[in-house]
Amino acid sequence: MTNEEIVIAIKDIIATIAPDEDLSGLELAPKLRDQIELDSMDFLDIVMELRKRYGVQVPEEDYMELATLQGCVDYLAPKLGDKQLVTA
């Protein structure tokens, strides 16, 4: 998966978890929680979806790495490099 595809993958997961949100203007650098309505249960949902869709385990101490879209790309790129994009 390329970095662009990782962004698509994360946005697709967020679209499932937060279906009322408009994700078209989501930016890479700002915190996700500052751009859309996401709470701690939603972040656990993101972690769960990564586990289900890609077999990626994100330990609790790494949750903060997923605070921004860019953080997701940086953190997940080594783990998703050989995976195929899955969308709901």
Partner 1 sequence: MPELPRVVITGVGLTSPNGDSLPAYRRNLLDGVSGVEAYEIRHVGETLAGVCHFDPLRHQKRKEVRRGTRAGSIAIWCARESLADAGLELAAIDRRRVGVYTGITEHGNVETENQIHEVAQYGFDLSFWSHHHNPRTVANNPAGEVTLNLGLSGPAYSLGGACAAGNLGLIHGTEQLQLGQVDVALAGGVSESIHTFGIFASFRAQGALARHTDPTRASRPFDRDRNGIVVSEGGCLFTLERLDDALARGARVYGEVRGYHVNSDGTDFVLPSASGQEHCIRGALKHAGLTPDRVDIVSTHATSTPSGDVAECQAIRGVFDGCETTFINNTKSYIGHAMGAAGALELAGNLPSFEDGLVHPTINLDHLDPECELRNLVHGEPLRPPQASDGEGIRTILNMSFGMLGINSAVVVQSPSN
- Interface positions with partner 1 (CB under 8 A): 17-20, 37, 41, 44-45, 48, 51-52, 57
- Closest CB 4 distance from partner 1, rounded Å: 26
CB 66 within 8 A of CB 75: yes
Q: Which amino acid is at 16?
A: T
- Closest CB 76 distance from partner 1, rounded Å: 18
- Closest CB 18 distance from partner 1, rounded Å: 6
Task: Rank residues 74 and 79 by Cβ distance to partner 1 and give the closer one.
Answer: 79
Give the torsion sign (CA, 58, 64, 65, 71): positive
Tokens for 11, please give them. 């946005």
